[in-house]
C-alpha cells in the first residue's frame, strides 16, 4: 500500500468520524417513517431552506475517490462463496469476504485454502482460531451422535425382546378381541 493511499484512508477515517447520522426529516414524529435519508422537498421545509435543524447530505462528507469502497486495511473486498472464487483473487490489492450463505464445512475449506495462498480474510479476525474452534465443535457433535445411535440400538433391542413376549400372548389377544366384539354387538343404540 502506498503512502498516498494510507494518507487518504486516514483522511477518510477522520471525515467519517465527524459525519452526522443523516436521517429523514420528522422521522421522530411519525412511526411509519424509516430513518433512511430522504431529501426534503416541501415548499416550506426549513430543512430544505437551510434554516436550522440537522445537516444536509453534501459531497464534503464523502470519501476520497481513490479509497472509496476499500476496506480499512486498504484492500478491495471481494465476496467468496466457494473454493473456485479464490483462484481469481489478487492478494496484493484484494481481500476476501466469505459470503453469509456459505455453510460451516465449506467456510472452513475456504479459510484453509486462503491461509495456504496467504490471502487476507476481512470478515474473520483470527482465521486459525476460528477453524480450530469449529473443528472441535464438529468432533463434539460426532461423539454426541454416536452416543445417541448407541442408545437407539439398545432401545431397538429392548423393543424386539418385548415383541417376542407379545407373540407369546397372542392367544390372550384373541380372547380380548372376541370380548371387544361381543361388547360392541350387545351395545344399545
In a domain, 111, yes or no: yes
Q: Is residue 21 part of a domain?
A: yes
Burial profile 140-170: b = 16 or more Cβ within 10 angstroms, e = fewer: eeeeeeeeeeeeeeeeeeeeeeeeeeeeeee
pLDDT score at 97: 97
22 with 75, same domain: the answer is no
Beta-strand (E) ranges in 52-145?
A: 76-80, 94-98
What pLDDT is stored for residue 22 in this prediction?
Answer: 95
Distance CA 180, CA 189 (A): 16
Q: 109 lies in a domain?
A: yes
In a domain, 38, yes or no: no
Residue 67 CB-density burial (10 A; 0-12 exposed, 13-18 middle, 19+ buried): buried
Q: How many domains does the chain have?
A: 2
Q: Does 49 fall in a domain?
A: no
**Residue 119 — left, alpha, or beta (φ > 0 → left; ψ -120 to 50 → alpha)?**
beta
Q: What is the pLDDT of residue 183?
A: 79
Cell 417376542 maps to which residue?
Answer: 164
pLDDT of residue 86: 94
- Predicted pLDDT of residue 168: 59
Task: Say if 158 falls within a structural domain.
Answer: no
Q: Are 77 and 122 in contact (CB under 8 A)?
A: yes
Q: Is residue 92 part of a domain?
A: yes
Residue 63, φ and ψ in degrees, nearest 5? -80, 155
Quote the pLDDT of residue 38: 96
Residue that is written with C-alpha cell 421522530 in the block: 28
Domain identity same for 76 and 22:
no
pTM above 0.75?
Answer: no
pLDDT per 10-residue tile (average), the chain, 189 residues: 91 95 94 95 94 91 94 95 94 95 96 96 95 95 93 82 64 77 76
Measure Cα distances from 75 to 18, 85, 120, 170 in Å: 23, 17, 9, 77
Does residue 175 fall inside a structural domain?
no
**23 and 78 belong to one structural domain:** no
Q: What pLDDT sits at residue 189?
A: 60
| Alpha carbon distance 126, 128 (integer Å) | 6
User: How many whole angstroms separate alpha carbon 76 and alpha carbon 94?
Assistant: 5
Q: Indicate if 75 and 133 belong to the same structural domain.
A: yes
> Distance from first CA to last CA of the chain, Å, rounded?
94
Residue 167's pLDDT is 63
Q: What integer pLDDT is reported at residue 161 of this predicted model?
A: 67
Give residue 25's domain range. 1-30+62-68
Amino acid at each position: 500500500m502506498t503512502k498516498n493511499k494510507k494518507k487518504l484512508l486516514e483522511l477518510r477515517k477522520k471525515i467519517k468520524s465527524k459525519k452526522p447520522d443523516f436521517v429523514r426529516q420528522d422521522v421522530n414524529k411519525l412511526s411509519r417513517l424509516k430513518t433512511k435519508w430522504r431529501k426534503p422537498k416541501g415548499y416550506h421545509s426549513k430543512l430544505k431552506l437551510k434554516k436550522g435543524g440537522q445537516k444536509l447530505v453534501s459531497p464534503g462528507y464523502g470519501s476520497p475517490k481513490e479509497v472509496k469502497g476499500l476496506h480499512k486495511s486498504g484492500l478491495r473486498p471481494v465476496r467468496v462463496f466457494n473454493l473456485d472464487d479464490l483462484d481469481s483473487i489478487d492478494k496484493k490489492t484484494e481481500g476476501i469476504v466469505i459470503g453469509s450463505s456459505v455453510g460451516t464445512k465449506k467456510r472452513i475449506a475456504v479459510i484453509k485454502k486462503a491461509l495456504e495462498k496467504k490471502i487476507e480474510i476481512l470478515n474473520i479476525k483470527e482465521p486459525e482460531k476460528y477453524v480450530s474452534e469449529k473443528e472441535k465443535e464438529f468432533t463434539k457433535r460426532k461423539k454426541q451422535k454416536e452416543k445417541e445411535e448407541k442408545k437407539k440400538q439398545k432401545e431397538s433391542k429392548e423393543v424386539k425382546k418385548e415383541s417376542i413376549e407379545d407373540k407369546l400372548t397372542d392367544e390372550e389377544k384373541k380372547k380380548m378381541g372376541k370380548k371387544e366384539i361381543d361388547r360392541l354387538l350387545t351395545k344399545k343404540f
